[in-house]
Chains A and B, each alone.
Chain A
Amino acid sequence: MENYEGAYRQRHRDTEVLHGVDRATAAMHLGGCAVECLLKAMILAQIPNPNQRQWHTEENPQPHGIKRPNHDLQEALKQYRKLYDRALKDPQVLKWFNAVEFPSQHFIDLRYSDTEPSPEGYKIWWDAYTKLCRWLEKQKTQL
């Protein structure tokens, strides 16, 4: 079974390493994946009963009915209504989400991209990414 929490930490470290060696496009791609992992971890963690912390599938139905979200961050957030609503209450957070999900195109599509962003664009992205991670980490302790 996936360890989303662990995967987040690993991808976050990878992103920091890539950031340190100016591999901007790869950093933006992996940064998006890191946030996606963190969201998935948080969605499962909201389920009170630890035995039910699994995605709902036809083969393995769960009482909560939460299915595994894919790469769309809004779709993922909707699975965790409280977090979704909290994100919508802070315009800054919305900006960060938007920047991380769509740096120039959708973060998942950057794996096929052969261009690097401008230094200014990348700076904005990095700022949004780090703040979004910090914000999400904080929510983990308060939801």
Chain B
Amino acid sequence: MDRTRKIELQRHLQEIYCQPFLDSGAWLECNFSTGGLLNVTIVSPHFQNLTHEECQQHLQEHLPPELKQKLGFLSLYTPAKAQDFGLTPPLPAPVSQPHTWQDLAIHAANPQNVANPQNLVPTSEAKTQPHTVTFYSFKGGVGRTTALIHVAWILAQRGRKVVAVDLDVEAPGLTSAFPLEPMPNLGVVDYFYERAYGLEGTYEVEITDIFGEVEIPNALGRLFVVPAGEMSLDYVAKVDDLRATTVTDTGQSLWQVLVEDLQRQLAPDLILVDSRTGLNQWGAFSLLQAAHEVVIFLFPNEQNLKGAQILLESLASVGTVEPTVVFSPVPDLTETGLTKVRSIWQELSPLLAQFMPEDSPETDLDDQERKDEDSWLEDPLMVGYTPTIALSDRYPIANSTDYYIKIANLLDNSLHQEQQVPSSTPDRWQILESLRFPAGNAGDQQENLGLLFQKTGNFQRFLDESVYLIRGRKGTGKTALYSLILKARDTFDRLSENRLSHYDFIPGHGRQPEGRLTRDDFDSVGDRLKTNPGSWASFWRGYWLLQAYRYGHGDFLKRLPPPLQKFKPLQQKLKAVSPSGWQSEHRDLLVELATDSDLKSLVLDAIAEVNQRQDSRVICALYDDLDEDFRNLDNLRQNALTGLFEFVQSCEARNLSQVRFKIFLREDLWQKLNFDNKSHVRGRDLSLTWTRADFLRLAYRQLTQSEALKDWIDRVYPMADPDRASEDELQTALTRLWGEKRRQGGNAKYVARWVYDRLTDSSGTTFPRSLTVLLEQATRKELDYQHQRVQHPSDRLLRSTSLDAGLDAASQERCEAIRQEYPELEPMFSRLENFPALADPQQLEQLWADTAPEICPTFESFTKLLAEIGLAQLRPKTSKKEAHYRFADIYIYGFKMDYRGTK
């Protein structure tokens, strides 16, 4: 009987026997034996005046047929009888942790009693003990102890204080690999034996008697080893007599006593336990009582697979020990051997995916899809068979640590998370309340623009003087760059290391303190250019001159020395309009400069004159907001943009070397643009893209505006310059904010990667603006938990559900943006609600036929468009799934699509 049916059965019986009689003290308890027998105790007024046989018969009528043959103990009483017998309802969660294999099996057989594994809270002692990792294997000879030795060595070299404990008490071996100083002649067995059977206060074996230190040259940390004990007849007798489940007189387990003593004496960062193999009482002890984390070593064959499956299933029912699987030793690291490993790994992966206390799998399309596809699997951890390691008597083997570094990294990361909760942790709510986020649109940001701007990987290309077109999707930071240059010049110079310090930047068009020409102005300009022999190129030329004049680069036009008297008419026109603001007179002037043939020529000459007078300085005009300010009607936008590029190219043709341009343009507008010399732009453009490291830098930069958070991060991960930090360093620093992984388990997704992937569309474009929205909303959601009676995560500020809420908000913002970008696709967007996020080609073709045949004449052109705009991408056929179209996560939530995908 599977988990769901057991839970349902309990609910069903409760409906019959308990719910109608809640006030009369009705209750029930179901227990399944590991062999599948059902044992129930039901206390209900329903049994009043019924004989024992009648009670049993009534119960059997409500059981599924297959259970009627599998009945164990049935205790069916009225409340009065139960009171006579002193029976009381079972205690609600938290349920105690299992200590033996039998406990574990019974736990796993009774999911109805532990419906939520998170209810299983570790004891307070377990929480405060040093991070403990058990190295476990079903079968011996797989290199478990060797791995432990190497991992302990690597971590000590890196600066960790590590204690390795040999709990392979029936076949100890840890000490023979290490030279210990001093070499103790007592071990953990002697220590346990006294505490199990001796009288408290008379112990002779002290903690200092049972460990020695391994001298590691040049190590930053230290490594101590607690051996099992010296092999002797006395040792054998003690091991046989010792019971791993013994509770001492003070009510503690043997493990708790040992850890307290170790903590007092050595205060280690990490305890590594070498466990007994198989289903032995000491194996259970080291796995269930001692471990926070278990590294399971298995040889890649069926026998080991079955064992690992049962173990993972059982551990998942408990949910407090995080497992990692390592294949060891893999005898053949060629493709043939790896195929075998991967096939076993694939079998284990769904079980590993169960370790998810914070996430619900059905809301995660990736997990959904992963179940169906092979390609998602990352390579598992593996240790290859190496004769030099296998044949050695002493460890570690120099230059053989490569395999073990990955395991060490994994443990190091867990340790980072553990250590993020020092006793002096400041008030998490205070930190959350101190977080501030910039306005949704970079252009609206007035303060701290320089501090919040993130230099992306292609910033250097922007500084290339020959580049004049900066392409990017809406929300990729074009306006942030535009604003940074105009409003925070010092910061721009610092970030660019003064490479463009000889540039004078002016707004060609875009946000300016005094306002700008509006859509209506441009509508009017467009109408008048249609009926006049002018052109948009001339318009931009006049506009450029007006701006240069306003920003002090056309002083000759103010005084006009004798050789330049020809500019008099132009001077009069410029002087006639107000030197600031934008009124109709400015618009009319620009139309006149574009349509009057005399003035047109004068503008041309005046620009050449400005160029000549610049000495070594360059005037660079910046153009932004070209999407919003031009309606897409009657080719207005197309004509205006074409004119702008014609103007730029004409300046180039005339070798106006002191006149430069940087045009920020939405990617789709650029793609749609057609003009004669479009190909000339090739190589003079760049596309704004955000790598994961850029993204993490932005998150770090925005968040550390909060002094409280920065201080908290700096205590463990001080970072001088985030721009020079590696992706790993940034990721580590941000674990304070959102933790390391989305959920527990070796194959769970890293949060940093999750955030980046979720905010990246299917064309690979990532949106920094979405990141701001996500963080802001996630913070808000987290603050909602402040007064709720739920457990708050201790290793992170934002829990997964808060990040989910943030993603939802970011997705909504992004959907709104794409709707603005592509208004012609609105009929299609409005049909996306409940449309499958994993759509088969027929479903997508129907969507096209219903909503977009006028925009895209063929289905192929429709799918091409979806790919270009980053909405959906074709996923080719795999061995398990037909070809299908996958919508990008960033749009799924905002459009309220059906994330469960295809049936």
Contact = CB atoms under 8 A, between A and B. Distances in A.
Given A71-B85, A74-B41, A89-B33, A97 B250 contact: no
A48 B243 contact: yes
A48 B52 contact: no
A71 B252 CA distance: 31
A81 B41 contact: no
Contact of B72 (A63, A82, A88, A102): A88
Interface in B14-63: 31, 33-35, 37, 39, 41, 51-52
B87 interface: yes
A141 interface: no
A77 to B, nearest CB: 7
Contact of A63 (B34, B102, B250): B250
Contacts of B77: 72
B529 interface: no
A113 interface: no
B652 to A, nearest CB: 86
A85 B102 contact: yes
A75 B102 contact: no
Contacts of B74: 98
Contact of A77 (B73, B85, B245): B73
A105 B52 contact: yes
Interface in B225-268: 243, 245-252
A51 interface: yes
Contacts of A75: 41, 75, 85, 87
A85 B33 contact: yes
A48 B248 CA distance: 9
Nearest to B34: A85
B196 interface: yes
Given A85-B33, A88-B39, A74 B247 contact: no
Contacts of B248: 49, 63
Nearest to A91: B37
A52 B252 CA distance: 13
A63 B123 CA distance: 14
A97 B75 CA distance: 12
Contacts of B513: none
B245 A48 contact: yes
Contacts of A106: 52, 81
A18 B33 CA distance: 36
Interface in A108-142: 108
B72 A94 contact: yes
B73 A74 contact: yes
Contacts of A97: 73
B54 to A, nearest CB: 12
A73 B243 CA distance: 27
B86 interface: yes
Interface residues of B, number: 32
A81 B245 contact: no
Nearest to A94: B72
Contact of A64 (B41, B87, B247): B247
B103 interface: yes
A3 interface: no
Interface in A77-110: 77-78, 81-82, 85, 88-89, 94, 97-98, 102, 104-106, 108
A70 interface: yes
A78 B459 CA distance: 69
B75 A72 contact: yes
Given A82-B102, A88-B35, A88-B72, A63 B85 contact: no
B106 interface: yes
Contacts of A73: 73
Nearest to A105: B52
Contacts of B75: 72, 74-75
A75 B106 CA distance: 16
A63 B247 contact: yes
Contacts of B106: 81, 85
A78 B91 CA distance: 14
Contacts of B245: 48
Contacts of B73: 73-74, 77, 88, 94, 97-98
Contacts of A64: 247
Contact of A70 (B33, B52, B85): B85
A103 to B, nearest CB: 10
A11 B140 CA distance: 51
Contacts of B85: 70-72, 75, 108
Nearest to A46: B245
A102 B85 CA distance: 14
Interface string B528-560: 000000000000000000000000000000000
B247 A48 contact: yes
A69 B251 CA distance: 21
B72 A105 contact: no
A47 B33 CA distance: 22
B247 A52 contact: yes
A85 B39 CA distance: 11
A89 B250 CA distance: 34
16 contacts: A48-B246, A63-B248, A72-B77, A74-B41, A74-B73, A78-B31, A82-B102, A85-B106, A88-B37, A89-B35, A94-B37, A97-B73, A102-B52, A105-B52, A106-B52, A108-B85
Interface of A: 48-49, 51-52, 63-64, 69-75, 77-78, 81-82, 85, 88-89, 94, 97-98, 102, 104-106, 108
Question: What are the nearest 8 A-B pairs in CB distance?
Answer: A63-B251, A88-B33, A74-B73, A70-B86, A70-B85, A63-B247, A74-B75, A102-B52
Interface of B: 31, 33-35, 37, 39, 41, 51-52, 72-75, 77, 81, 84-87, 102-103, 106, 196, 243, 245-252
